[in-house]
Amino acid sequence: MPLPEPPVAPARPHTRTVHDDAVEDPYAWMADKEDPALRAYLEAENAYAAQVTGRATPLAEEIFGEIKRRTQETDLSVPVRHDGWWYYSRTVEGQQYAVHARVAVADSPQRPALEGDAPPAGEQVLLDENAEAAGHEFFSVGSSDVSPDGRLIAFSTDTAGDERFALTVRDLDSGRVLDTAVSDIGYGLAWSLDGRHLLYTRVDDAWRPFQVWRHEIGAPADTDVLVVQEDDVRFTLGLGTSRDDRWVVVAAGSSTTNEVRLLDAADVTGEPVLVAARVPGVEYDVEPLGDELLVVHNRDRRNFEVARARVEDGRVGAWEPLGVTSEDEYVVGVDAFAGFAVVSLRTGGLTALRLLPRDPAAPTGFGAAHDLAFDEPVRTVGLGDNPDPASTTLLLGYTSLVTPSSVLEHDVATGESTLVKATPVLGGFDPADYVQRREWATAADGTKVPISIVHRRDTPLDGTAPGLLYGYGSYGICLDPWFSVARLSLLDRGFVWAVAHIRGGSEMGRPWYDDGKLAAKEHTFSDFVACADHLLDLGLVDRRRLVAEGGSAGGLLMGAVVNLAADRFRAVHLQVPFVDALTTMLDPTLPLTAGEWEEWGNPIESAEDYARMKGWSPYENLAAEPGGHPLPALLVTTSFNDTRVLVTEPAKYVARLRALGAGEREDAPIVFRTELVAGHAGVSGRYDAWKQTAREWAWLVTVATDPLPEAAAAG
């Protein structure tokens, strides 16, 4: 059936000249989100997408049903004990959002549980997101925190998807709302020890958290006091509280440099304590417990190490190295408890946990370290929610590509770990039906790149299976193996699913990140292509049925890969894609731009950075047949209220491709869909999110399993 006529976006003359390079951009007008022509174009593309993908609707409904049937809709998280209460969240069948609640330990000495489908006895609801979301098409909680005395809860909400939040303070005993004076704030909340004050962040016009303010509960917002302001546009502010509620932690950070201040939670009107002044290239983070600080830093080691320091008389002493990691182990973080500490690290491309028992007689204050052991060769482990500094046990989060997300309780004294909860997967799921493995692709420069792979045990690995390769590769973010109920719908249809651990992430340590940014950014793209080639060369995937997917910076990856190796893929899904990177990095008034020059380059100041970025930025290199190869089918999805990657970028990308005549082949259309009330993470509400996933994957499955056109079949 022939494709319908695609929408045509208006082209308006516009020339951008930077470093004597004049560039015509007829879709620059789309930067004005309020322009009615943009809204009209997006709505036209949505209508076109509905026409083109209509044949996949029955499959989308089928996949949604599978996700729903496999999910235990009424469920309870593992209750966590803190200050005389068990805290947990629960979901209810038919409700989009979670209910956050607690039960007094005095009423339930053991962890409370659902009573059938009913809440635990004695439950006190802290925050019912369903009630708060009533009347809103979009709803998200930014931050929430119970006061140290347990009487009040503060939470921030977003009802547009633009990540600007309104603050609410509620009395937990009476349910009475005490304060709604503060709005338009960022992420992060911190209580004073007496519950009289709240600290919060504000963002500037470029969505950069640049201020921390102090608010007195019940007072007008115009009486709030500015505590810290960060004027360097490369830095953002983060806000939190130490595990023992002793300190409010205010962290300023860029991509390469950090600076942390501690504010006494018992006197939040006092002066913050500076841990260490910023030094370009030195990154550090602190874990306070009482007057002791554990510091993770890269001052002397590229892969970071752990040190100890003390706070005395308003000053932080020297950092004393603990010597508990080696140079080839990448230290991710440290958590401090009264009787021990836990170092989170990466080794051999996988996550690991190292336990350090306290020993006052030892020079460092800690005894011999040991690692927690786990059986699966491809897995992810990390600390769970452990709010009690005096705890003698640890809750751990554990998952793999075949093991549903689980919570283990590790007894520090005995070394034994007990399964507390494994996320139920209904519908006859048996992990033995699936196989996970790790492969290593060889990049263009000879670097070995890990790939995590999962498929059904009965999937033929003879070069006939469809496949999906997922990637990200930026900001040092790792795509560690994880379980997905939704992914089962792909695997059970014969797909081989893989994630490429490409440079730009930190899977193999900090050098892995450094070797995929700035001047080395193109390693990210060529690594992904090498991973695709490895799957194809092994015969794990049909050469004509491989699909690629990535979101945000992973969407940039997808755009670059399409330009670089269009012939490798039958279809590519670009989610909220950062495809116009050069234009964005040329405008410091846009959200996140200035803070990301250390990631991508500064094309304003540097002609070299400009030329390099222009060489790989997807929008700058579009062609109907890149490298002489026809484009694969493209699915481009975005959200109108996204503040991280503006809707402008994918809209321009698709409009320009259409103007080039791309997407006109029946077997390789361009489908562009915008969620008109949503943010960077897509729609809110679990059922709506499942429907979105089902709709997107149904189209990818349909394209990947369509009969091949004659030319492709012959190839």
Give the 3-state DSSP-derived string for 618-669, with helices as H, strands as E and coil as C. HHHHCCCCHHHCCCCEEEEEEECCCCCCCCHHHHHHHHHHHHCCCCCCCCCC
pLDDT in tens, 537-592: 999 999 999 999 999 999 999 999 999 999 999 999 999 999 999 999 999 999 88
Could you tell me what percent of the chain has a pLDDT over 70?
A: 99
- Nearest-angstrom CA–CA distance, 143 and 481: 26
Tens-digit pLDDT profile for residues 663-675: 999 999 999 999 9
Check whether 710 has a pLDDT greater than 70. Answer: no
- The catalytic residue among 143, 147, 255, 552 is 552
Taking the CB of residue 267, how many other CB atoms lie within 10 A of it?
11
CB 126 within 8 A of CB 174: no
**One-letter identity of residue 556:** L
Instruction: Please state, in angstroms and rounded to a whole number, the distance separating the CA atoms of residues 367 and 324.
Output: 10
Under DSSP, the state recorded for 518 is: G
What is the C-alpha separation between 291 and 247, in angstroms, rounded? 9
pLDDT of residue 709: 62
Is residue 370 annotated as part of the catalytic site, yes or no? no
Q: Is the pLDDT of residue 652 over 60?
A: yes
Spot the catalytic one: 179, 224, 542, 642.
Answer: 642
Pick the CATH number of 136-282 from 3.20.20.10, 2.130.10.120, 2.60.40.790, 1.10.3720.10: 2.130.10.120
> C-alpha distances in angstroms, 321 versus 273, 296, 324, 553?
21, 10, 8, 35
Architecture category of domain 15-68+428-708 in CATH = 3-Layer(aba) Sandwich (3.40)
Of the candidates 619, 588, 618, 622, the residue with the CA atom closest to the CA atom of residue 603: 588
Burial per residue of 381-419, b for 16 or more beta-carbon CB atoms within 10 angstroms, e otherwise: bbebebebbebebbbbbbbbbbbbbbbbbbebeeeebee
64-73, 365-374, 676-685, 706-715, range with the lowest pLDDT? 706-715
Give me the catalytic one of 285, 297, 680, 684. Answer: 680
pLDDT digits (tens, 9 = 90+) for 585-619: 999 999 889 999 999 999 999 999 999 999 999 99
**Does residue 508 register a pLDDT over 70?**
yes
Q: Output the six-digit token pair for 494.
A: 């014969």
Tell me the C-alpha distance between 329 and 303, whole Å.
Answer: 7
Q: What are the boundaries of each domain within the chain?
A: 15-68+428-708, 76-127, 136-282
For this structure, is 14 an active site residue? no
Whether 552 is catalytic: yes
Residue in the structure block whose two tokens are 């409009």: 655
* pLDDT given at position 1: 66
Residue 715 has pLDDT above 80, yes or no: no
Q: What is the DSSP string of 152-189?
A: EEEEEEESSSSS-BEEEEEETTT--EEE----SB-S-E
Where are the extended beta strands (E) located within 348-386? Answer: 350-357, 370-371, 380-383
Measured CA to CA, the distance from residue 394 to residue 413 in angstroms comes to 11
Look at 713 and 94; give whichever has higher pLDDT.
94
pLDDT over 90 at 637, yes or no: yes
pLDDT of residue 409: 98
Average pLDDT on 427-449 reads 97
Using pLDDT thresholds of 50, 70 and 90, give the confidence band for residue 711: very low
Average pLDDT of the chain, as a whole number: 96
